[in-house]
Amino acid sequence: MSKPKVGFYWCAACGGCEESVVDLAAGILDVVNAVDIVFWPVALDFKREDVEKMQDNEMAVCFINGAIRSSEQGEMVALLRKKAGLVIAFGSCSHLGGIPGLANLYNKEQVMKTAYKDTVTTVNESNTYPVESYKAPEGNLTLPSLWNTVKTLDQVIDVDYYIPGCPPPSSLLADAVNTILQGKLPAKGSVLAPDTALCHECPRKASKPEKVAIKEFKRPHEIIIDEEKCLLSQGLLCLGSATRSGCGWVCINGNMPCTGCMGPISRVHDHGTKALSAIASLTASNDEAEIAAILDKIVDPAGTFFRYSLPASLLHRKYEAPKEGGK
């Protein structure tokens, strides 16, 4: 019997998700024994035309990491959707939008201007910007277009399952591959990770006071962090109460607060808003002016609570009123 075929692809991502595949280390040999990897541009020399030549649903499963923010990525994932029986959004960026999703706080023009003009290390006196089409002596040259809004994978194509994390722990990937090989698939749309909040399983849970009340929010560089005590009770913005577990507490064990990369549990729709709600309600004051002063210490609510989930949030992006004469 031929082995099931598997593909990996990346879109707007940093490459960390590919690392997490490699982090299977010797375990990757078990994967290779069980499946045929037929597409993995980062590691193996396959091209787009190899995918185009495949039959529909020829790949059993395709893992796609990264957010979708260009016409090329949109085309590629639509093609992979056709060729793969199962599509798995792999990692925070394809699951919720991830770090690239923070570009949704700006529009395309602002992003281009920052990248090609405003950064201190950029010299661009002639105001040269990339164009999507250019007439050269050799013919018309084209580039894919950058979208105004960064999207999650499931806002572009149908997605069967999600593996969260930035990057996803290798253990979740190994579990997912085994689950698929054994055919024990959960309901479509499931996130293949435990469905409990990180706080619930936190190794520091015993040190959490019965009632957490925060008089002063602190940033990690401002204090010496106690290595045993609940990070939230030390005033740090730890998002464990609103975030899915399954990460292996790598940040907590590194004495750093949870930043929320695993996304929400299944009963929460908008991770950032829920985290904002949970943290704000812990403010230890009943005085309106004092509450505002304490919360002012959270300098960047959008970047803090929506670090990995802005495109998947209820607002998706910064609101831009339509121009006059529009809808």
Partner 1 sequence: MSDIKNENKPFEPRIVAFFCNWCTYTAADLAGTARMTYAPNARVVRIMCSGRLDPQFVLTALREGADGVLIGGCHPGDCHYMEGNYKTYRRFVLLRRLLETMGIEKERVRMEWIAASEGDRVQKVMNEMAGDLRRLGPLHLEPEAIDLHAALHGEIKPMIQEVAR
Residues of this chain that bind partner 1 (CB under 8 A): 105, 187-190, 266-270, 273-274, 276-277, 279-283, 286, 288, 291-292, 295, 298, 301-302, 305, 313-322, 327
Q: Do residues 147 and 160 touch, judged by C-beta distance below 8 A?
A: no
- Considering the complex, state which of residue 73 and residue 273 has its C-beta at the smaller distance from partner 1: 273
Of 44 and 292, CB closest to partner 1: 292
Smallest CA-to-CA distance from 309 within 152, 90, 148 is with 152
148 Cβ contact partners less than 8 Å away, ≥ 6 residues apart: 107, 108
Helices (H), 183-299: 198-201, 250-253, 271-280, 288-295
Nearer to partner 1, 37 or 275 (CB): 275
| Cα-based distances in Å from 109 to 34, 117, 130, 212 | 47, 11, 12, 43
What is the nearest approach in angstroms of partner 1 to the Cβ of residue 294? 9
If phi over 0 gives left and psi between -120 and 50 gives alpha, with beta otherwise, what is residue 44?
A: beta
Would you give the DSSP letter of residue 226? P
Cβ-based nearer residue to partner 1, 112 or 291: 291
Least CB distance from residue 303 to partner 1, whole Å? 9
Least CB distance from residue 257 to partner 1, whole Å? 17
Of 25 and 321, the one with the shorter C-beta distance to partner 1 is 321
Nearest-angstrom CA–CA distance, 160 and 179: 14
Please state the closest distance from residue 272 (CB atom) to partner 1, in A: 8
Count of beta carbons in the 10 Å neighbourhood of residue 42:
14
163/279 with CB nearer partner 1: 279
Contact 153, 77 (CB under 8 A): yes
Our CA angle for 164, 312, 70, nearest 5°, is 95
Residues 71, 228: Cα–Cα separation, whole Å: 48
Residue 125 CB, nearest distance to partner 1 (Å)? 32
Cβ at position 283, least distance to partner 1 in Å: 5
Instruction: Provide, rounded to whole angstroms, the least separation between the CB of residue 147 and partner 1.
Output: 15
Q: Which is nearer to partner 1, 185 or 298 (CB)?
A: 298
Q: Are 44 and 51 in contact (CB under 8 A)?
A: no
